[in-house]
Amino acid sequence: MTRTDAVPAGGGLCAGRVVAVTGAGRGLGRAHALAYAAEGAKVIVNDLGVGLDGTPAPDTPAAQVVAEIREFGGEATAHGGDIATSEGAASVVAAAVDTFGRLDTLVNNAGFLRDRMLVNQDEEDWDAVMRVHLKGHFLPLKHAAAYWRAEAKAGRPVTARVINTSSGAGLLGSVGQGNYSAAKAGILGLTLVAAAELARYGVQVNAIAPAARTRMTEATFAGTMAAPGNGGFDAMAPENVSPLVVWLGSGESCDGVTGRVFEVEGGRITVMEGWRPGPAVDKAERWTPTGAGGAVRELLERAAVPGSVYGAQ
């Protein structure tokens, strides 16, 4: 990410806010951390420093991102805890409070892949992806929410924000990614519940479903580089996703936006509208199996056609 400006002298959109980003050593997380810092936020850069499959990697990229932020005048600190453990997740919140005095925004971003077709996927692959994606969202959210609830009950104003990271795979499903699709769909449900439960404490919770070139998607988007015909705009650059994430994590500017899911790709932002009642019929008495089947056939004729599962023929 090439930076042309230092932290704005006037503070920026997130001036004074303290933001924790999980999985911020590379890809989307790195782009988010840099973008927040460029808007004046103080950033906790969390990254365990593992490989694409979740196994330990030889480098520790969180410190590199912190160095980048400090180079253009921002404030940041690295955090290497495992956010899929209660201790590690709690320590993210503690790091923010101990280092910068507060926590205002949590961006749950960490994840990895263990792709296999369902018949070939073993229990370890399932558990590992659920642990990092779904549990790795729940635990930081739980500990951050407990902190904000305590602040609110103590009479201190709370303007807190959470941005969770789902995926098109969570919205539509993806062949060969049963574990990942299920985890990302679970994150959507968690987002809706958290938005409803935490509103009373001044917390807004939203989710994004980004499409960008990262370690997890580089094979999918390998050929989608910047095109000369559109002014060199690289539609799959992870930095394209970060402006919305920064806005959702800001203060008064995004007030009232909660419980929403946004698909973000290139220059396009889409408000996703999830499960809503479609055509229905009420017989006001018990159906027979044949009758129920006939009713369903008729309803499906009037229902919208669902989107295709990614990778389906």
208 by DSSP, 3-state: which?
strand
pLDDT at 110 over 70: yes
Which of 209, 102, 189 has the alpha carbon at shortest distance from 150? 102
Q: Which of 167, 174, 181, 250 is catalytic?
A: 167
CB 216 within 8 A of CB 111: yes
CB 137 within 8 A of CB 109: no
Report pLDDT for 88: 96
For 187, what's the count of Cα atoms within 13 Å in the CB-facing half-sphere? 38
Mean pLDDT of 185-206: 98
CB 46 within 8 A of CB 20: yes
Q: Which of 36, 180, 181, 250 is catalytic?
A: 180
Report pLDDT for 232: 75
pLDDT-derived band at 231 (thresholds 50, 70, 90) equals low
Mean pLDDT of the residues in the chain: 90
Is 167 noted as a catalytic residue in this protein? yes
Domain ranges of the chain: 18-272
Q: Which of 166, 181, 184, 250 is catalytic?
A: 184
CB 187 within 8 A of CB 164: yes
What CATH architecture applies to the domain 18-272? Answer: 3-Layer(aba) Sandwich (3.40)
Report pLDDT for 212: 83
User: How many whole angstroms separate alpha carbon 118 and alpha carbon 207?
Assistant: 26
Residue range 19-37, pLDDT digits in tens: 999 999 999 999 999 999 9
The whole model's pTM is what? 0.89
CB 95 within 8 A of CB 77: yes
